[in-house]
Amino acid sequence: MEDITSGKLSLIIDGKCSNKNIVIDNFSSLKSSNKSSITFFADRKLINDLKKTKAKIVILKQEDVDLHNGDSIVVDDPYLAFAKVANFFLKTNTFEPFIHSNVNLGENTNISKDCYIGPFNSIGDKSIIRKNVFISSNVSIGSNVIIDEGTKLHPNVTIGNDVVIGKNCEIFSNASIGNEGFGYTQDLDNLWNKMPQIGSVIIYNNVDIGSNTTIDRGTIDNTIIGSGVKIDNQVQVGHNCFIDENTIIAGCVGIAGSTQIGKNCKIGGAAMILGHLKINDNITISPGTMITKSLNKSDKKYTAIMPFMEHKDWLKLAIKLKEKRK
């Protein structure tokens, strides 16, 4: 394997390198570094760790160069640069293609020879698994599923029928994608009649889905997750939701059915979004906030439970309440 040099890494992160010939074989924190690792410095509270680090080279900002006696790669955002370096190292650790003998394959499946499929997996009829897909163990994949190149499924993931998963996605343990949504209608006798859920789930490229997250299939049309969306653990996405590209959703968020969420939104942990709403692009929703109506203005931040409001208004209200307590 070709050596990984500081010069090569500096090209990846668009940095200015003091010595391009240093050979690096791992990445680390400042504290856990060794003589062949690369690390980063982004917080001056960690100045003592920087002084003691054993790392061969440190990623940092221009204004922090004089704080470090060793070699460095200067960038605008050390944290982002380090993330790119870490991902580069992890992607160099590729798997050997392999299909375990204890895999239940349906009829007319189309599986690339360049995949890894571990033990105790089940893949339904007419499903397509493209090259460089990694499927761990105890994964259940339904019929007519398409999983595109470079996607990784961790143990105990469940993928329902007709689901489409794009390139370079990662789905973590115990996630459930494309099972039936929660849809019932009540008759005159107050009995609940189940609404058939015959849509599916379409997931575009570069999507991450955390452990124990559930994304329901659509009632008739599909539930859609756009490219670059990042979803944390224990998130519930109801049937027929549409989440547009590059939105990030923290843990324990609940999104009721048929809600549309725009691009580049940030949704804090344990936020709740009611059904059939529209959230515009570039919206930030604070942790624990309950959204009860559509948000039609872009580039806003909303906070509170009942009622929610723009974040700046919530801060004013909090100050007034604090003053009343005095």
Residue 270 has pLDDT above 60, yes or no: yes
Q: What is the pLDDT of residue 309?
A: 84
| Span 274-309, pLDDT tens digits | 999 999 999 999 999 999 999 999 999 999 877 788
Quote the pLDDT of residue 2: 79
By the 10 Å C-beta count (0-12 exposed, 13-18 middle, 19+ buried), 295 is classed as buried
User: Residue 116 pLDDT more than 70?
Assistant: yes
pLDDT, tens only, 204-241: 999 999 999 999 999 999 999 999 999 999 999 999 99
Cβ neighbour number for residue 76 with a 10 Å cutoff: 11
The whole-chain average pLDDT of the chain stands at 95
| 154 is known as an active-site residue | no
Q: What is the pTM of this model?
A: 0.87
Domain positions in the chain are: 6-92, 98-314
Residue 67 and residue 50 in contact, taking contact as beta carbons nearer than 8 Å: yes
Q: Are domains 6-92 and 98-314 of this chain identical in fold?
A: no
Q: What is the domain class of 98-314 according to CATH? A: mainly beta
Amino acid 1: pLDDT: 57
Choice between 84 and 91, residue whose per-residue pLDDT is larger: 84
Domain 6-92 listed as CATH 3.40.1390.10: yes
Label each residue of the chain as H, E or C: CCCCEHHHHHHHCCCEECCCCCECCEECCCCCCCCCEEEECCCHHHHHHHHHCCCCEEEECHHHHHHCCCEEEECCCHHHHHHHHHHHHHHHCCCCCEECCCEEECCCCEECCCCEECCCEEECCCCEECCCCEECCCCEECCCCEECCCCEECCCCEECCCCEECCCCEECCCCEEEECCCCEEECCCCCEEECCCCCCEEECCCCEECCCCEEECCCCCCEEECCCCEECCCCEECCCCEECCCCEECCCCEECCCCEECCCCEECCCCEECCCCEECCCCEECCCCEECCCECCCCCEEECCCCCEEHHHHHHHHHHHHHHHC
Rounded distance, CA 59 to CA 76, Å? 10
Strand-strand pairing, 184-186 and 192-194: antiparallel
User: 95: pLDDT confidence band, cut at 50, 70 and 90?
Assistant: confident
pLDDT tens-digit profile of 12-42? 999 999 999 999 999 999 999 999 999 999 9
Q: What percent of the chain clears pLDDT 90, i.e. is strictly above it?
A: 90
pLDDT, tens digit (0-9, with 9 covering 90-100), for 191-205:
999 999 999 999 999
For residue 91, the model assigns a pLDDT of 79
**Largest Cα–Cα separation, the chain:** 78
Question: Which residue of the set 68, 100, 239, 311 is catalytic?
Answer: 239
| Confidence label for 92 from pLDDT (cuts 50, 70 and 90) | low
